Amino acid sequence: MKRDQTGDERVPVRDDGRREFLKCAAGFAGVAAATGAATTAGLGGRAAAADRSADGRPGDARQLPDKLPFHGDHQAGIVTPQQLFAGFVGFDVLAEDRNDLVELFKRLTWRARVLTAGVKPKDEVVAAEPPTPDSLTITLGLGASLFDDRFGLSGHKPRHLKAMPAFPNDRLEPAHCHGDLSLQVCAEHPDALVHVLRDLGRETEGLLRPRWRADAFLNPSRPSGARRNFLGFKDGIVNPDTESHREMGRLMWVTPPCGEPDWALGGCYQVLRLIRFRVEKWDKVSVADQERMFGRRKASGAPLDGIRETDHPDYTSDPHGQKIALDSHIRLANPRTQESDNSRFLRRSYNYDNGFDQNGRMDLGLVFCGYQQNPERQFATVQRRLEHEPLARFITPTGGGYFFVLPGVRDADDWFGSRLLTKA
């Protein structure tokens, strides 16, 4: 597969057949799972899910409700505690005009509302089986390429939305990047993801074409606390406080001072990065050297100057990096200065396992997902600090994209993108 190493921030060029109607809705469920990896701003999953039992199932301490609200000021699946499984899909829109696009968004809203309410898709209905609680969320984002001249939206693009650029050390594969839309589906059971994609495929036939897909999951805490990635380290230990209205207004949701279009208020930016771990190479590194690169103990997750994973590293008392190296992952990602505090964002990542590649190497990694108010101020700033970290030799960015997550669907009469498409 050819790799894009130009670093261009261009929107991907569509092939001549982009307006073909889908011949079969099964294409939604059958798109090849995205491979890959990314040097990304803080590798990690969400710590909010860390109080589940060590076997990976929901624990008594924090049981997710069977059904999560669909309506609200913001979409579900962002500050929602992480479900065990997630599917991420990038789509090209095949709609011919504005009316078709409105119809597409209304269909997506209708089915998302029905499915998250607990109604089973047609392919999952088995009369003898009781409903399965899935804690399902469906989250929709818009790519920069949707704001071209097809639908008259070019003057209404969010300020910071663009095609994801290639950062140093990236090996972006065009087939696994960008898209007009992003869809995040999260649930407590992996089969729910497939059923939802099949259902949406049927209901939007002829209006969407899948571009790339990545299925992912959470690893167990082992033994407790934050969950581990396939490098063996705990991830997502530090995240903004999603219960704080002030914190979310400063770091997450688009508000009037952001200078965004009125229709975007209540939305946020989503950064997806497909990260491949070079595990064969990593496994040859001593645990001590691995810990130095991360700045944390592998067993406990504690910073190298602490005892517990929740301990805050004290960089002031370690100005020369004697305890936690100056180029360690945690120190570069979050130097804990007043300036870096403004670049924090919410990480909601998942692990993936795509078996073996054609050379017999394990294809393991992370679907990094970050939510934020401004990707240039937040994700890109952190990413630039991480460009030359030692850990970069063991991870390879291969795909993903920047997307703008629409504000929430307010009530039963509202639909995805209504404020954009009725006022633009």
pLDDT tens, residue by residue, 62-114: 478 999 999 999 999 999 999 999 999 999 999 999 999 999 999 999 999 99
Q: Is the pLDDT of residue 128 over 80?
A: no
Q: Is residue 281 part of a domain?
A: yes
The pLDDT tens digits for 251-295 are 999 999 999 999 999 999 999 999 999 999 999 999 999 999 999
Looking at residue 338, what is its pLDDT? Answer: 87
Give the model confidence (pLDDT) of 164-198 as tens digits: 999 999 999 999 999 999 999 999 999 999 999 99
Least confident of 110-114, 119-123, 155-159, 293-297: 119-123
Q: Does residue 12 fall inside a structural domain?
A: no
The mean predicted confidence, pLDDT, of the chain is: 87
**Mean pLDDT, to the nearest integer, of 123-130?**
63
What digits encode the pLDDT tens for the residues 318-347? 999 999 999 999 999 999 998 899 999 999
Q: At residue 23, what are phi and psi to the nearest 5 degrees?
A: -85, -25
Q: What is d(CA 266, CA 408) in angstroms, rounded to the nearest whole number?
A: 7
- Phi first, then psi, for residue 263 (nearest 5°) are -65, -20
- For residue 120, the model assigns a pLDDT of 74
Who's near 72: CB < 8 A, 6+ residues apart? 408, 409, 410
pLDDT at site 131: 62
- For the chain, percent of residues with pLDDT exceeding 70: 82
Beta carbons of 187 and 1 less than 8 angstroms apart: no
Residue 260 lies in a domain: yes
Q: Is residue 403 part of a domain?
A: yes
Query: What is the per-residue pLDDT for 236?
Result: 85
Structural domain harbouring 257: 26-423
100 lies in a domain? yes
Q: Is 205 helix (H, G, I), strand (E, B) or coil?
A: coil
User: β-strand 85-93 against 181-187: which pairing, if any?
Assistant: antiparallel
Let me know if residue 212 belongs to a domain: yes
pLDDT (tens digit, 9 = 90+) per residue, 203-257?
A: 999 999 999 999 999 998 888 899 999 999 998 888 999 999 999 999 999 999 9
Q: 219 Cβ partners below 8 Å, 6+ apart?
A: 56, 227, 228, 229, 230, 351
Task: For residues 173 and 12, give the distance between their C-alpha atoms in angstroms, rounded to a whole number.
Answer: 11
Q: How many domains does the chain have?
A: 1
What mean pLDDT is predicted for residues 140-164?
97
Query: What's the pLDDT score for residue 310?
Result: 94
Report pTM.
0.87
Residue 1 lies in a domain: no
What is the model's pLDDT at position 58? 35
Question: Which neighbouring-strand residues pair with 90?
Answer: 182, 212
Structure tokens at 106: 């209304």
* Integer angstrom CA distances of residue 186 from 10, 51, 83, 377, 401: 29, 18, 6, 27, 18
Specify if 188 maps to a domain.
yes
Judged by DSSP in three states, 185 sits in: strand
For residues 350-371, average pLDDT: 97
Residues 357/336, Cβ–Cβ less than 8 Å: no
